[in-house]
A and B are shown apart, each in its own frame.
Chain A
């Protein structure tokens, strides 16, 4: 079973190929911009590095978020389209699960709480397997009442370290600021091996927050809009 994984939900663009023996090849560029420019050349490169072709793929996975809306859509649209075009299934992996898995791989013992920056003063986190989002202060309260201690990982943890760290909770370093694509690939491979896959049309982003539909005519009419 060979699974291609795409990562573009945070401050990196990454592609990895996982086989039954683990990750076969991976490539990551650390940037929060230019996901659409980087992702496809990285797919081509990773396939070449692993000596594989698109015809060898059994499933395609994407980090579905939570994270940067635009980046998530680039990855999800790409994964869906590749899966559709090759008549293979898709797999969705949340950024939170991938960050948590990466923190465990890095040797974290005890509790691991992935925390992703949602901007506008909010973060998303996963505590005891439940995904939630809100101001970092709310997570801080939950951490205090949880009575545990452990590691906080992700760009949200780094950004709000002053609010979140302390009382036994430590913030992981920059290497875990976004989901490492190898973790996305390994989780996706495990899911696909169990048959936990989706029809490509059903791979959807995990936004958590509703779209902000407030209209701002002055900014919307700056020439960026077109129609007809």
Chain B
């Protein structure tokens, strides 16, 4: 692959790792020109979770209209023509649902090939780290990012774009998974995070003292015991108010997340902390993280809710930094559904 063209560089990204079909155009990795997210939440809600085959079918139907809209938002036609054509096409290659990932990867490689520009495979988790940078270009690094979603709970120190270190991760359930499971157990519906958030507002967080798995000395997390504690408590106290259980459960999760994030920031001498991922939209987590950061004299950045949940702008941003580092991806790249954070992902270079 020849050297990338001179700056400013424009990246079109596609994100289809779970139940959102998204496309976005971002300039220089920092300026969101357009961002389109088509959520399938209604499609999956009655099944109480994401149905992979339905998600893959919906992505296949939506991919052209969603990309077309993102291009239009950047003043480009569906054929990519316009004042400032894209310089690269990025797509999430993992982690995620394999059938869903394949739709975005196949489309992105095709666009790159048809426009004769590089293809850049992006690790979805890495993408989440760029949410804060997109909304706060002057963010002072290094920061500790708490990435919490339905599938992941990670503490990452970000020194510079493309330079990170994982400080902690969950040993069992992801934070969002715990929210989903407890919400389902309490009959609060799907998705679980927002349902618990809403219900907890009317409850007393100090009514039940659920255990905090602090794993002394480690920055890792564990949430499976908490989920079991909730089930056991409700089974033995059937009279307890659902609002109180939701508030107490949320309190326990948020408590652990915030304490570990602060500790990670202190240990790594970070300038501030950022939240990322779907669970970062939780209002109690946002409030307590901000409070704790201010108390510790740390910077805090809370991305907008739209930037916390899955979107393609963060993939475009991560793709841009890969592009400028010369880390484009070969056309024989596949989906990497089990991709972890430590692995760079799509290491086969063009």
Contact = CB atoms under 8 A, between A and B. Distances in A.
A6 to B, nearest CB: 9
B102 A226 contact: no
B98 A224 contact: yes
A224 B59 CA distance: 18
B61 A84 contact: no
B207 interface: no
Nearest to B279: A228
B79 A69 contact: no
B115 interface: yes
Interface size, B (range): 35 or more
A211 B54 contact: yes
B106 A226 contact: no
B307 to A, nearest CB: 12
Interface stretch (A39-47, A173-181, A184-192): A39-47
B260 interface: no
Contact of B334 (A36, A44, A84, A226): A36
B149 A227 contact: yes
B60 A87 contact: no
A97 interface: no
Q: Is the interface of A mostly helix, strand, loop or mixed?
A: helix
Given A70-B99, A227-B278, A213 B150 contact: no
Interface in A40-77: 40-41, 43-44, 54, 69-70, 73-77
A127 interface: no
B102 A73 contact: yes
Contacts of B17: 226
Given A82-B114, A213-B54, A73 B60 contact: yes
Nearest to A85: B114
A221 interface: yes
B21 to A, nearest CB: 11
Contacts of B114: 54, 81-82, 85-86
Given A44-B113, A73-B56, A221 B177 contact: yes
A34 B67 CA distance: 25
A105 interface: no
A51 B51 CA distance: 44
B110 A81 contact: yes
A205 B60 contact: yes
A36 B105 contact: yes
Interface stretch (B42-50, B157-165, B263-271, B293-301): B42-50
Contacts, number: 169
Contacts of A75: 106
A39 B333 contact: no
Contacts of A77: 59-60, 63, 102-104, 106-107, 110
Contacts of A36: 102, 105-106, 334-335
Contacts of B95: 226
B338 A84 contact: no
Interface in B289-319: 308-310
Nearest to B280: A228
A215 B102 contact: no
A83 to B, nearest CB: 9
Contacts of B52: 220
B276 to A, nearest CB: 9
Interface residues of A, number: 44
B137 interface: no
Contact of A204 (B60, B98, B308, B335): B60
B151 A74 contact: no
Contacts of A215: 47-49, 51
Nearest to B48: A215
Nearest to A39: B106
B82 interface: no
Contacts of B99: 69-70, 73
B136 interface: no
Given A70-B102, A84-B79, A226-B17, A54 B64 contact: no
A201 B51 contact: no
A74 B106 contact: yes
Interface string B214-227: 00000000000000
B80 interface: yes
Contacts of A81: 63-64, 67, 106-108, 110-111, 114
A228 B60 contact: no
B334 to A, nearest CB: 4
B51 A213 contact: yes
Contact of B51 (A39, A44, A87, A211): A211
9 contacts: A37-B334, A40-B106, A85-B114, A211-B53, A215-B49, A221-B177, A227-B191, A228-B149, A228-B176
Given A40-B106, A217-B49, 8 more contacts: A73-B102, A74-B103, A77-B102, A82-B110, A85-B79, A86-B79, A225-B49, A228-B279
Interface of B: 17-19, 47-54, 56-57, 59-61, 63-65, 67-68, 77-80, 95-99, 102-111, 113-116, 124, 148-152, 174, 176-177, 180, 191, 193, 277-279, 281, 308-310, 331-335, 337-338
Q: Which 9 A-B pairs have the closest CB atoms?
A: A228-B278, A226-B151, A227-B150, A85-B114, A81-B110, A228-B149, A87-B79, A81-B107, A201-B64
